[in-house]
Amino acid sequence: VPEKKIHFVPHGVPDVPFIDPNYYKDRFNVEGRLVLLTFGLLNPNKGIEVVLDALPALVKRYPKIAYIVLGATHPNVKRTHGEEYRLFLQRKVQRLALEDHVFFYNRFVTLEELLAFIGACDIYITPYLSKEQIVSGTLAYAVGMGKAVVSTPYYYAEELLADGRGRLFDFGDVEGLRRVLEELIENDVERHQMRKRAYELGRQMTWKNVARDYLAVFGEVLDFFRHEPVSISYPQLFPQDPYPEPKFDHLMRLTDDTGIFQHASYGIPDRRFGYSTDDVGRALAVVLKAYHALKEERLLRLAEVYLSFLRHAQREDGAFRNFMNYSRQFVDEKGSEDTQGRALWGLGCAVELGVTEPFRNLARELFERCVANLNLESVIARAYAMKGLYHFLEMYPGALPIRRLFQSYTQSLKEAFLSARREDWVWFTDEITYGAHIVPASLLLAHKVMGDEETRVFALEALDFLTEVTFNGEFFDFVGNAFWYKRGGTKAIYDQQPIDAAYATEAYAIAYDVTRINRYLELARIAFEWFFGRNRLALALYDFTTGACYDGLTSHGLNLNQGAESIICFLHANLTLSHIGLLRSLRGPTTHSQAR
């Protein structure tokens, strides 16, 4: 292009005074702190993780650092990948123990809010990963407001930050970023001079001057839009929830007007395998828990389908059949003991959490018919049943027959524990199989109902032993289903299943609720992160785009089936952590406990 045809017009910026950052900091509860800021629509090219990796060394030396990541996820990224990147960053914050130093403000902001955030920052950072970026509105705004800026050397940053208007570090260079930040923090004079040079250039970039440039190019008058001062309310709490919002798309996809399909091939329901009471009972518990948290009406429709299925599955003697084919015919006479326990779990939740009285009445009728002839022997099955009994007693604490059954099952688990326990084996049986965390979890629920200290002690001893077996200090390596884990034998590594991650998440959350020991809360978080790749294969099982969950980890990689149990278990774990209220704010430091 001939040079005479090129006219340079800078990126426009608001015309604001050169103000000390401390003027704005009290609006965000960061007064007295050194504020770092990155702003913009969040996407993986932003390189936020580079800043996070540089922070641990910095906060040791400068404990008042507060790093704010401002902006919602880019719509195109969210449409394709959901909140995967933001949640990856927030889990990284937890792993690096930076909760008191890093804060995500996850929404679009008005211009007035943006100017206040930029005004409050001492150092603005653009750690972008792409050399080819030719413009950055956020960088322009930071320079225009006279901020000390640190950036990677993409084309626009190299040009805008030349002549001492900013400092550069190489792409992905964590140590380089740390050094630059440390130098600027230590050298107030250099930082202030950098601000002044940036602000002086910013005078040429104000919208008024940009408008004049456009007039020169187009030869026509353009109205200059001037924002009037607006009184706004600044949020004082920044929720820091590093977990995805529960997504029910795949659950809806698997559910028809009969029940929930057991299996899905590449995310598509596989009708060949029909339905199961095992899945329906647990799905009923999940959707009712979700409705009470989110108030989504479509979840009530699912709950009605699931309750109707259980009614059809129940025999005259109260026991439940399990497998139904796509022709709506049950293919077994009676389900396993686990089936009875899982059905009771769902029905107990329906008794407690059902929205309408007719719904609760039907659930109670099915529940009481089942327990009238219930005879469970296995430890796992009794643990399932105890969850249902617990929820029933939450609704009807004076139901003596139910309470007596609950006490009986509690006592049987304690006796099994005493019988099987050895110095090197603190468990209820001689073998650990699938979903083992549900056993100590149920005993902890029993402690909550009856207040028996011995029950609490046994439950925590078993839970701690299970932690030794499955947690390696970095991630959970659950017992595989190839040959499980027998006392004196070798633990199977594959296949690992979502059921174990979900029940572990819940067990540790209940343990935290009972004990208030932060270690259990941290273990609950780490167990849930198994779904996102914090596992032996470093593979994510949860699909942010579809809301589905793969069926497990095999020696060859992911089990690509995305069946009912997997998504039910994921949602159960997701809702468990949401219920416990994992929020962080800019208010004061919190106490952290490392999982060992």
User: Do 144 and 257 fall into the same domain?
Assistant: no
Residue 333: how many other CB atoms lie within 10 Å: 9
CA–CA distance, 596 with 594 (Å, rounded to integer):
6
Residue 579: the pLDDT is: 67
Lowest mean pLDDT among 74-88, 179-193, 246-260, 319-333: 74-88
Give yes or no for residue 320 having a pLDDT over 60. yes
Residue 220: the pLDDT is: 55
* Range 458-465, long-range pairs (CB < 8 A, 24+ positions): 458/414, 458/417, 459/511, 460/511, 460/515, 461/426, 462/417, 462/426, 462/427, 462/428, 463/437, 463/507, 463/508, 463/511, 464/426, 465/425, 465/426, 465/427
Render the burial of 83-101: b for 16+ CB within 10 Å, e for the rest. Answer: bbbbbbbbbbbbeeebbbb
Give yes or no for residue 545 having a pLDDT over 90. no
User: Do 350 and 302 fall into the same domain?
Assistant: yes
Question: Cβ neighbours of residue 16 under 8 Å, at least 6 residues apart?
Answer: 115, 119, 144, 145
- Which residues on adjacent β-strands are paired with residue 149? 124
Residue 241: the pLDDT is: 56
Residue 213: the pLDDT is: 85
Q: Is residue 223 part of a domain?
A: no
User: Do 184 and 266 fall into the same domain?
Assistant: no
User: Do 469 and 359 fall into the same domain?
Assistant: yes
CA–CA distance, 93 with 103 (Å, rounded to integer):
9
Residue where one domain finishes, among candidates 165, 196, 218: 218
Tell me the pLDDT band of 551, cut-offs 50, 70 and 90. very high
pLDDT digit string, tens, across residues 99-122? 999 999 988 888 888 998 999 999
Q: Is residue 229 part of a domain?
A: no
**Residues 108, 539 contacting (CB under 8 angstroms):** no
Q: Is residue 496 part of a domain?
A: yes
- Which residues on adjacent β-strands are paired with residue 574? none
SS3 content of the chain, % helix, strand, coil (to 5): 50, 10, 40
**Tokens 């208007």 identify what position?**
165
CATH number, position 477: 1.50.10.10
Local structure of 73: helix, strand or coil: strand
Tell me the pLDDT band of 135, cut-offs 50, 70 and 90. confident
Residue 356: the pLDDT is: 92
Mean pLDDT across 76-93: 90
User: Do 291 and 330 fall into the same domain?
Assistant: yes
Question: DSSP letters along 165-178, please?
Answer: T-EE--TT-HHHHH
| Tokens representing residue 86 in the block | 């933001």
**Mean pLDDT, the chain, integer:** 90
Give yes or no for residue 230 having a pLDDT over 50. no
- In degrees and rounded to multiples of 5, residue 459 shows phi and psi of -60, -45
**Residues 452, 443 contacting (CB under 8 angstroms):** no
User: Do 408 and 514 fall into the same domain?
Assistant: yes
Mean pLDDT across 178-204: 92
Give yes or no for residue 582 having a pLDDT over 70. no
Residue 585: the pLDDT is: 29
Lowest mean pLDDT among 1-15, 246-260, 346-360, 471-485: 1-15
Local structure of 56: helix, strand or coil: helix
Q: Is residue 234 part of a domain?
A: no
Give yes or no for residue 171 having a pLDDT over 50. yes
Tell me the pLDDT band of 218, cut-offs 50, 70 and 90. confident
Residue 537: how many other CB atoms lie within 10 Å: 15
Residue where one domain finishes, among candidates 176, 199, 218: 218
User: Do 558 and 515 fall into the same domain?
Assistant: yes
Give yes or no for residue 592 having a pLDDT over 70. no
Cis before 20 (ω within 30): no
Local structure of 482: helix, strand or coil: coil
Q: Is residue 130 part of a domain?
A: yes
**Tokens 């340079």 identify what position?**
8
Question: DSSP letters along 377-431, please?
Answer: -SHHHHHHHHHHHHHHHHH-TT-HHHHHHHHHHHHHHHHHHHHH-BTTB-SSSSE
CA–CA distance, 436 with 503 (Å, rounded to integer):
8
- Which residue would you say has higher pLDDT here, 219 or 436? 436
pLDDT digit string, tens, across residues 449-501? 999 999 999 999 999 999 999 999 999 999 999 999 999 999 999 999 999 99
User: Do 146 and 38 fall into the same domain?
Assistant: yes
Give yes or no for residue 266 having a pLDDT over 90. no
Q: Is residue 351 part of a domain?
A: yes
pLDDT digit string, tens, across residues 392-445? 999 999 999 999 999 999 999 999 999 999 999 999 999 999 999 999 999 999
User: Do 182 and 270 fall into the same domain?
Assistant: no
Residue 33: the pLDDT is: 93
CA–CA distance, 226 with 139 (Å, rounded to integer):
21
Give yes or no for residue 226 having a pLDDT over 50. no
Of all residues in the chain, the percent with pLDDT exceeding 70 is 93
pLDDT digit string, tens, across residues 338-357? 999 999 999 999 999 999 99
Q: Which domain holds residue 336?
A: 249-579
Residue 17: the pLDDT is: 83
Q: Is residue 585 part of a domain?
A: no
For the CA atoms of the chain, what is the radius of gyration? Answer: 29
Mean pLDDT across 282-308: 94
- Which residue would you say has higher pLDDT here, 262 or 1? 262
CATH number, position 192: 3.40.50.2000
Give yes or no for residue 328 having a pLDDT over 70. yes
Is residue 70 within a helix (H) or strand (E), and if so which, with residue range?
Answer: strand 65-70
User: Do 19 and 87 fall into the same domain?
Assistant: yes
| Tokens representing residue 49 in the block | 């993780």
Q: Is residue 586 part of a domain?
A: no
User: Do 205 and 310 fall into the same domain?
Assistant: no
Residue 234: the pLDDT is: 41
Tell me the pLDDT band of 203, cut-offs 50, 70 and 90. confident
Residue 81: the pLDDT is: 87
Residue where one domain finishes, among candidates 199, 218, 237: 218
User: Do 213 and 271 fall into the same domain?
Assistant: no
Q: How many domains does the chain have?
A: 2
**Tokens 């719509």 identify what position?**
75
Local structure of 137: helix, strand or coil: helix
